[in-house]
Chains A and B, each alone.
Chain A
Amino acid sequence: MTQSTSVEHGSGHESQGFWRTYLFSQDHKTIGIQYAITSLLFLLFGFTLMMIMRWQLAYPGQPIPLIGKFLGEANAPDGIMLPEFYNQLGAMHGTIMIFLGVVPLGVGAFGNFVMPLQIGAPDMAFPKLNMMSYWVYFAGGVTMLGSFLLPGGAANSGWTSYPPLSDIATIGQTAWLIGMFFLITSSLLGSINFIVTIVQLRAPGMTFMRLPFFVWAQLVTSFLLLLAFPPLEAAACLQLMDRLAGTSFFLPSGLVVSGQVVQASGGGSPLLWQHLFWFLAHPEVYVLILPAMGIVAEIIANNTRKPLWSYRSLVYSTLFLGFMSFIVWAHHMYITGMGTTLGTFFQVTTMIISIPSVVILAVLIVSLWGGSIRFTTPMMFACAFLPMFGIGGLTGLPLGLAPTDIPLHDTYYVIGHFHYIVAPGSIFALFAGVYYWFPKATGRRMNDTLGKIHFWGSLICINTIFMPMFIQGLAGVSRRLYDGGAQYAHAQGVLSLNLVMSVAAWSLAIFQIPFIINFFVSIRKGKKVGDNPWDATTLEWATSSPPPHGNFIRPVEVYRGPHEYSVPGAARDFLPQNDPA
């Protein structure tokens, strides 16, 4: 087979020079690590923005300590945050966390690093394209960050960028749109590469039903990125035309903004943007969660020492979920003036799409039954993922039913709903992935004690942040309020929770310090481990740590399903996929 040629090349890779090896590498593992570091830094940055916002929510109108002076006169005169700046921070927190943090970490980093190894491929199908998608992502990130320096600051119309507000917003919005073009391009290149790799480069014997679930999750995710992003690209084109060429795709006739009649031809519709945006953004939320579920599934199988319960329902549910995610988008728009026909359609599809999620979660929980559970650090994060995603998912139900969405729409209930999924959900799963695959990438293990401090501290703090949001939301407190609702009578009873949440958020930051130390110190000083420290079955553990250029020294062949642990009659409690025994 062709893999045999990789042996010769595998040994010759040292000669590539610094630039080709580290910066402009075409090796999927290096690119994966580049993605990992960049996106972790973006996560930290997005979190920092939020910590600054949480000061304003806890102590409205009081000067921000320490960093307040450095935020600039235009943003925070005398250290007191302006509403404009609050809106910038909010919009950029959402954008950065989603498009520059969680997706690149889940797909770009873990997908890139792990997926080719798991299917026994020497690299991605298009290594040059892979390198390009990283650098295009990087350019998108720089554009987004740089937009803070523009006059008027960064985009300030929410991550959803609803027109007409965004059409007439400051130039930061143009930068946002350009940044989105980069990120969309990067995702498109990446997803094409992923799908081709999974379909074409599977090792002999690796049939679709033998793929580790993580690979399935990446496959479905890639399809979502491939087909859902273009409509947003179309919408971004139209918004850019509105902003630069003076068209009015999203501007209706007869607008009067601050007393001035807007000089535009009119005839557009603000709702058009919302449809195109949510056509992307609902599938996008599954892009945020599927890689996380993939990681969790792998770790649960490994640490319960038994196969996943009903692998097939897991796979079929995921496919069905991906499919349905394209026809539920307007559940974000119930109160825009939707009639009964559409209302019925989208409520029904939303309820239907919750069923595969229930199945996925059921499979993962039931997989615990009968296991011999090792509470390693990755496993603890993976276990915590389950109820946290459960809370986030369940609170999606009242939002999905239009009548109950009325009081809840655009309140902190919605914020609580999705943060439970993306923060203690996705981010925990991603932490689990970092602890789990760190030995593969470095040959060393992260410290367990620090890991456990990180875990318990984060679990407690993160729940203290997001649980009160449901209480505030049910009381009717709107989101995106600069003063956290201080002037509203109906918010008074739950106002004091703002301080609780803020303190918890800052404490959460403190509990990330053990992680950051652990991460960097372990790269050099971590305990050295063998090729397969977790006694795992999937192919990434069948090569050295870190794997050589070309991944596998000898061609691999696959003989069985992905999670054959504790097979009755076997010599050890795990049977690697490539073990002919």
Chain B
Amino acid sequence: MNIPYTSEVRPDTGVYNAKLGIWLFLASEVMLFGGLFSAYIFLRTGAATWPHGWEILNIPLATTNTVVLISSSVTMVMAWASLAGGNFARFRRFLGTTVALGVAFLAIKGMEYGMKFEHGLFPATNTFLAIYFTLTGLHGLHVIGGMIVNVYLLGPGSKMWRKDPQRFTNRVEVAGLYWHFVDLVWIFLFPVLYLL
């Protein structure tokens, strides 16, 4: 049986199924991180004292990570553009770079965590660190999830390119939307946790 509008766009709504699906998912993610952000504000406004992020956290590392993640977003969208332009080899290069940048991001994050642990700073130490580890940890899980999808699209998933190029391009676009969202979350996490 064929489900309609898996690769072509439904004229009256202007989207194909998966695109609507991923946007809905992102909407729910907005509410997930929204819940955590509002928890952060709730605790911070209620706290007697609250440290500045820069006093505890490592700004240069985090800035590097911001640049890494933004770059990976660019390569992700370029990967999609390459597919849309019909250039599969270029797509592979760009998506490969995206995955590599994701690994770099996680490695730097891991270093940051390691440094904190060495100094005896754990989630249980205080509320600031608790929220820091929870938010960045959850964000890290999202990065890992995105990387699994990207690796799949780079490897076994890419067989679809020959059978149904349109659908495969859609898949990459959808994966990209998710990846950009993860980037977007970081764009807010970075100032909120590190700079304020």
Q: Residues of A with Cβ closer than 8 Å to B?
A: 1-3, 5-6, 9-10, 122-127, 188, 191-193, 195-196, 199-201, 226-235, 237-238, 241, 245-249, 264-265, 267-269, 272, 275-276, 279, 549-550
Contacts and interface: CB of A to CB of B under 8 A. Distances in A.
A316 B117 CA distance: 54
B4 A200 contact: yes
Closest 7 CB pairs of A and B: A234-B35, A246-B124, A231-B35, A230-B32, A247-B130, A230-B31, A267-B127
Contacts of A229: 28, 31
B17 interface: yes
Contacts of A201: 3-5, 17
B188 interface: no
B30 to A, nearest CB: 8
A124 B4 CA distance: 10
Mostly, the A contact residues are: helix
Interface of B: 1-5, 10, 13, 15-18, 20-21, 24-25, 27-36, 39, 42-43, 46-47, 122-127, 130-131, 133-134, 138
Contact of A122 (B3, B20, B134): B3
A44 B179 CA distance: 43
B125 A265 contact: yes
B162 to A, nearest CB: 21
Given A231-B35, A246-B124, A279-B35, A9 B1 contact: yes
Contacts of A126: 3, 17-18, 21
Given A235-B35, A276-B35, A246 B1 contact: no
10 contacts: A125-B3, A188-B25, A200-B5, A226-B28, A227-B31, A228-B31, A230-B29, A234-B33, A272-B42, A272-B43
Given A199-B13, A269-B46, A234 B36 contact: yes
B43 A249 contact: yes
Contact of B138 (A9, A228, A237, A264): A237
A249 B39 contact: yes
A272 B16 CA distance: 39
Contact of A237 (B1, B20, B36, B46): B36
A231 B27 contact: no
Contacts of B28: 188, 192, 226-227, 229-230
B3 A127 contact: yes
Given A126-B18, A230-B34, 13 more contacts: A126-B21, A188-B25, A192-B28, A201-B5, A226-B27, A229-B31, A233-B32, A245-B130, A248-B130, A265-B130, A267-B43, A269-B43, A549-B1
Contacts of B35: 230-235, 276, 279
Contacts of A267: 43, 47, 126-127
B4 A3 contact: yes
B41 to A, nearest CB: 10
B13 A200 contact: yes
Given A5-B1, A127-B3, A245-B124, A195 B32 contact: no
